[in-house]
Structures are given as structure tokens and as C-alpha cells.
């Protein structure tokens, strides 16, 4: 095994605790499940996992070190992420101001293309520099110099974290999707769910910008 078994078991335990702790990614998936259903939430979870996979690759190849050592690069990523979340929040809120018939209210939630949900989720994750810094601080603690190349160990740990995160996010997606489906049986509820999603996006944008 590329990673020390004892360290790996400890890593999996710690990673699970981190994955079940509510954060921006989980809230993003939850709002999609409530407002657009199970499929959208699962796609969002997949997009988040794709973003985490890119972060893992960045850590293995040392890109995260560059971000950590360059305050300007960090600030650019941080504000780009905040701006993107704010854009989605405003766009979501503006969409709820249009006049809708009851039939439109029922079908609007399914109108967002799958690829767009996936792309937005991946970008939301990628534009959060704190994830890179977290990876850089967290993963090396479970690397042993006596168990082979550090890059291989980091890759195994990073991929494990991605899989664990995807499992947890998938469960959140299924749960929120079921709740969302029940709520969408009442047509007017979809408008309020979309407004809730817009407010959440704006809140996440503020959190990223000022944290």
C-alpha cells in the first residue's frame, strides 16, 4: 500500500468528520436539491467532486504551494469566487421576479441544463482558494517518508478525500432532492425555493469575500 495503513485509517476517520461538517459545498448541493430536485443535486455533487479532483492534482504537482506563497494569486482566486457566487445569486433572484404561470413554475426547476449545473458546481469549488490551502495543510500530515514517494501518497489521500466527499454529498443530494420533490408539488413553493437559493448564493459570496 502506498500509504501507511495506520495513518490511512486515521486519515479516513478525520476526512469523514470533515466531510459531514456543513460547509459552502454542502449548502450549495442542498439548495439545488431543494429547488431543482434530486438529479440537479446529484449533478452538483459530481461537479464539486470534479473540482476537488482538480485541487488534488494541483497539490500533487505543487500548484497549491504557488497559491500559498503568492498573496496576489490567493486574492484573485478569492474575489473571483465571490463574484461568481454573487452573479449566480443575483441571476437566481432576478429569475423569480418574472411573471410565471403555474405550469411554468412546475417546469422551471427542470429547465436548467445538466452540464450547466455541473459546470457551476465545479467552478464554485475551483474558485475557493481555501480548499487548496486546506489540502496543502491537511494531507501532508498523513504522509510518511518511509512509505514511498510523497507525491504518490498525496495522490492516494487526495483521491480518497474526493470519494468520501462524493459519497457524503451524494447522500445530501438524495435527501434534499426528496424534500424538494415534495415541496414542488405545491407550484408556488418553487419560487420561494429559488429565492432562498439566490439568498444563499449571495451569503456564500459574502462569506468568501470577507473571510
Q: pLDDT (tens digit, 0 to 9) for every residue of the chain, 211 residues total? A: 567 788 898 889 888 888 887 777 888 898 888 878 889 899 999 999 999 999 888 888 776 666 566 677 667 766 776 776 677 678 767 766 654 444 443 444 445 788 888 998 998 888 877 777 777 777 877 887 677 777 788 889 999 999 999 999 999 999 988 887 766 655 565 566 666 666 766 776 676 567 6
Q: Please tell me the predicted confidence (pLDDT) of residue 98.
A: 56
CA quadruple 114, 34, 91, 86: dihedral sign: negative
CA 37 to each of CA 9, 89, 180, 181: distance values in angstroms, whole numbers, following the listed order: 35, 18, 5, 6
Q: Please tell me the predicted confidence (pLDDT) of residue 46.
A: 95
Query: Using N-to-C axis directions, what is the helix angle for 38-60 and 129-138, rounded to 10°?
Result: 60
Q: Please tell me the predicted confidence (pLDDT) of residue 174.
A: 93
Q: Please tell me the predicted confidence (pLDDT) of residue 171.
A: 94
CA distance 52 to 124: 11
Question: What SS3 class is residue 105?
Answer: helix
Q: Please tell me the predicted confidence (pLDDT) of residue 186.
A: 59
Grid-cell match 420561494, residue found: 192
CA distance 208 to 131: 12
Q: Please tell me the predicted confidence (pLDDT) of residue 92.
A: 67
Q: Please tell me the predicted confidence (pLDDT) of residue 197.
A: 65
Whether the Cβ atoms of residue 48 and residue 122 lie closer than 8 Å to each other: yes
Q: Please tell me the predicted confidence (pLDDT) of residue 62.
A: 73
Amino acid at each position: 500500500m502506498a500509504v501507511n495503513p495506520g495513518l490511512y485509517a486515521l486519515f479516513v476517520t478525520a476526512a469523514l468528520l470533515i466531510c459531514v461538517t456543513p460547509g459552502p459545498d454542502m449548502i450549495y448541493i442542498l439548495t439545488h436539491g431543494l429547488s431543482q430536485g434530486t438529479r440537479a443535486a446529484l449533478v452538483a455533487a459530481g461537479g464539486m467532486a470534479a473540482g476537488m479532483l482538480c485541487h488534488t492534482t494541483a497539490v500533487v504537482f505543487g500548484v497549491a504551494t504557488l497559491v500559498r506563497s503568492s498573496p496576489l494569486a490567493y486574492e484573485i482566486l478569492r474575489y473571483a469566487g465571490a463574484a461568481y457566487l454573487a452573479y449566480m445569486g443575483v441571476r437566481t433572484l432576478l429569475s423569480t421576479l418574472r411573471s410565471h404561470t403555474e405550469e411554468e413554475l412546475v417546469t422551471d426547476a427542470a429547465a436548467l441544463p445538466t452540464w450547466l449545473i455541473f459546470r457551476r458546481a465545479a467552478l464554485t469549488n475551483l474558485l475557493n482558494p481555501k480548499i487548496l490551502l486546506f489540502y496543502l495543510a491537511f494531507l501532508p500530515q498523513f504522509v510518511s517518508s518511509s512509505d514511498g514517494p510523497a507525491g504518490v501518497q498525496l495522490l492516494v489521500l487526495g483521491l480518497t478525500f474526493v470519494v468520501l466527499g462524493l459519497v457524503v454529498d451524494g447522500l445530501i443530494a438524495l435527501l434534499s432532492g426528496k424534500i424538494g420533490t415534495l415541496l414542488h408539488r405545491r407550484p408556488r413553493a418553487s419560487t420561494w425555493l429559488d429565492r432562498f437559493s439566490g439568498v444563499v448564493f449571495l451569503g456564500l459570496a459574502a462569506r468568501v469575500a470577507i473571510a
